[in-house]
Amino acid sequence: MCPSRIAQPALYQEVAERLRQRIFAHELQPGARIDEQALTIDYGISRTPLREALKVLAAEGLVTLKPRRGCFVTELSEQDLDEIFPLMAILEGRCALEATAKAQAREIASLEQIHRQLEGSAESRQIERFFELNQEFHARIQDMAGNRWLRQTVRDLRKVLKLTRLLSLSIEGRLEQSLAEHERILAAIKAGDGLLAESLMHDHILSVRQALARSHAEAEVNP
């Protein structure tokens, strides 16, 4: 096989991953225009792999391609959030239900370990670390569910929701509330109560949406 046929896809995938991480870290802010010329210089690449990478990110919902205007980091509207979070609540609730039915002792022990780390991060007010551990906690439950279609759908939506990174956790009292919600979900899974775990996870996801709404309301009052 010709080496160029392997190298080119690998290049645009690497570019996509680099941009993805910059978007998640908010180095590229929601609504910001992607400067293609500057990126080609920074990365030492041509326009072709960059544009292929942007197509990948557009398919994931992380950037928006606007004809004759360029490419922009996706900015989620309040309507977007109102549409995404109820769907996420249903999907992640189902993950918790299926995970409870299939949970092994070692998997529950792993969840407990993550929760202890969450407690430590909350106590020391390490919001960035709490955010990452929160992602890991949810991902572990998705893995425990063992439903690849459900897991992929949830993870695709979670990529988009990372555009709201850390905002809800910055609200006073939200860190503690989130920790308590995780503790109740963990307890339900340990008890083998799938329906309760599903309900608690559903409500937990919707509480994130409520926190974001408060964050946006406070931002409007105190710009």
Q: What is the pLDDT of residue 212?
A: 84
Higher pLDDT, 98 or 172: 98
The full length of the chain comes to 223
Residue 38's pLDDT band, with cuts at 50, 70 and 90, is very high
Catalogue the long-range contacts made by 26-33 (C-beta closer than 8 Å, 24 or more residues apart). 26/165, 28/73, 29/73, 30/73, 30/74, 30/75, 30/76, 30/163, 31/72, 31/73, 31/75, 32/72, 32/73, 33/70, 33/71, 33/72
Q: Report the C-alpha dihedral over residues 93, 94, 100, 103, rounded to 10 degrees.
A: -120
- Is residue 123 scored above 50 in pLDDT? yes
* CATH architecture observed for domain 3-73: Orthogonal Bundle (1.10)
Q: Where are the domains of the chain?
A: 3-73, 78-221
- Is residue 1 scored above 50 in pLDDT? no
- Is residue 135 scored above 90 in pLDDT? yes
Residue 163's pLDDT band, with cuts at 50, 70 and 90, is confident
Cα of 183 vs its chain's centroid, Å: 20
pTM for the structure as a whole: 0.83
Place of tokens 């709404």: 213
How would you label 168-198 residue by residue, b for 16+ Cβ within 10 Å and e otherwise? bbeeeebbebbbebbebbbebbbeeebebbb
Residue 6's pLDDT band, with cuts at 50, 70 and 90, is very low
Residue 5's pLDDT band, with cuts at 50, 70 and 90, is low
- Is residue 119 scored above 70 in pLDDT? yes
Residue 164's pLDDT band, with cuts at 50, 70 and 90, is confident
Q: What is the pLDDT of residue 48?
A: 92
78-221 fold: Four Helix Bundle (Hemerythrin (Met), subunit A) (1.20.120)
- Percentage helix, strand, coil, to 5, in the chain? 75, 5, 20
Q: What is the pLDDT of residue 168?
A: 73
CB 185 within 8 A of CB 201: yes
The arithmetic mean of pLDDT across residues 63-88, rounded, is: 93
- Is residue 3 scored above 80 in pLDDT? no
- Mean pLDDT in the chain? 90
Higher pLDDT, 2 or 206: 206
CB 95 within 8 A of CB 201: yes
User: Rounded to whole angstroms, how far apart are CA atoms 115 and 111?
Assistant: 6
Fold: same for 3-73 and 78-221: no
Q: What is the pLDDT of residue 173?
A: 81
Q: What is the pLDDT of residue 106?
A: 97
Q: What is the pLDDT of residue 9?
A: 58
Would you give the DSSP letter of residue 72?
Answer: E
Q: What angle do CA 129, 158, 18 make, to 5 degrees?
A: 70
Q: What is the pLDDT of residue 45?
A: 93
User: Rounded to whole angstroms, how far apart are CA atoms 20 and 57?
Assistant: 7
Helix (H) / strand (E) element for 66: namely strand 63-66
The arithmetic mean of pLDDT across residues 41-56, rounded, is: 93
